[in-house]
């Protein structure tokens, strides 16, 4: 079979197709039925995201999995099944003028010197995100342009909506109390908004920790206080877009109950103290009417890696 080759976005280094990386690649691992209106079930697909490069695009996509309609508008159902597989995949993004365009790619993915994926990783042999990431790199012109950038850009390219913000540098500051913060997040989540955040790093270096998180949920749990009493405490459930929360990060930021998919709990009081900005995207017909603050324009700057500079660029048309 002659598989599709995208000559407009060549891979400068080594590459492999998914079936050369795993015996039985899948497009989706978790199947979400559109007839089930429980967003928490749809949101499980966030666990299929894992990447060495946790820029704002990864944060936005992780949040987008919460809304099945918006998600499939960007990521149509596709397959690696023999009868349908040609090596060609396509995804949809919104340009800055609001026009939606289809980006077609082949499934050759950059690999490192060890033969594993250089950028996004497959989880349980599901390849929709590595392929989506490649399509977005083509859309932007290069992989390096999605390592850096602004949250407002990534969200707009995915949803045609600019994120709205709560931060202390705007006319819509964050709630000043833990109960107010909990109620605010609870309402945003119940309204099915996509909610992400930036946290202050305890060592004063946000870039080292990759400060953007997806806010998964809020919940009440019982904890033993310093006085030995059992008392209810409110927590924010966070997910690091890389798919893991390192032990030193969890200890430094006070994140507990860390799971294997990069999720953990942070006490709302600690969340409030470390919070820099909350980003929300309302995918329904109404808007929140918030004002963006200065932090909306701060770029995500990842840790400088010792790996070779990115060479995977889109060919000029």
Domains of the chain: 15-159 (no CATH), 164-297 (3.90.70.10)
Q: What confidence score (pLDDT) does residue 151 get?
A: 72
b/e sequence 154-186, b meaning 16+ C-beta within 10 Å: bbbbbbbbbbbbbbeebebebbeebeebbebbe
Q: Which residues face 91 on adjacent strands?
A: 103
pTM: 0.80
- The tens-digit pLDDT sequence of the chain (317 residues) is 789 999 999 888 899 999 999 999 999 886 666 555 665 666 677 777 777 665 778 888 888 888 888 889 999 999 999 888 999 999 999 999 999 999 999 999 999 888 888 888 787 889 999 999 999 999 999 888 877 666 778 889 999 988 887 776 666 777 888 899 899 999 988 888 888 888 765 555 444 445 688 898 999 987 776 777 778 889 999 988 777 888 888 888 888 999 877 889 999 998 888 877 888 888 764 333 333 333 333 333 333 333 333 444 444 43
């Amino acid at each position: 079979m002659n598989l599709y080759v995208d000559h407009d976005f060549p891979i400068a280094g080594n590459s492999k197709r998914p079936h050369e990386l795993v015996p039985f690649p899948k497009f989706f691992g978790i199947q979400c039925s559109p007839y089930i209106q429980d967003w928490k079930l749809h949101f499980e697909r966030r666990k299929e995201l894992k990447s060495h490069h946790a820029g704002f695009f990864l944060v936005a996509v992780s949040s987008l999995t919460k809304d099945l309609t918006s998600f499939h508008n960007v990521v149509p159902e596709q397959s690696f099944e023999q009868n349908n597989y040609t090596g060609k995949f396509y995804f949809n993004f919104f340009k800055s003028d609001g026009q939606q365009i289809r980006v077609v790619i082949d499934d050759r993915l950059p690999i490192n010197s060890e033969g594993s994926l250089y950028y996004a990783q497959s989880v349980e042999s599901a390849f929709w995100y590595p392929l989506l990431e490649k399509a977005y790199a083509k859309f932007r012109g290069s992989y390096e342009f999605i390592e850096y950038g602004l949250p407002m850009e990534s969200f707009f390219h995915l949803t045609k909506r600019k994120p709205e913000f709560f931060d202390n540098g705007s006319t819509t500051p964050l709630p000043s109390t833990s109960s107010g913060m909990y109620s605010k997040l609870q309402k945003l989540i119940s309204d099915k908004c996509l909610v992400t955040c930036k946290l202050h790093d305890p060592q004063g270096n946000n870039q080292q920790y990759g400060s953007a998180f997806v806010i998964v949920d809020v919940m009440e749990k019982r904890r033993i206080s310093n006085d030995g009493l059992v008392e209810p405490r409110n927590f924010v459930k966070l997910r690091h877009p890389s798919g893991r929360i390192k032990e030193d990060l969890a200890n430094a930021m006070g994140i507990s109950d860390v799971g294997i998919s990069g999720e953990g709990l942070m006490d709302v009081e600690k969340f409030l103290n470390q919070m820099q900005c909350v980003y929300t995207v309302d995918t329904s017909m109404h808007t929140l009417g918030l004002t963006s603050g200065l932090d909306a324009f701060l770029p995500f700057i990842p840790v400088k890696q010792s790996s070779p500079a990115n060479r995977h660029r889109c060919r000029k048309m």
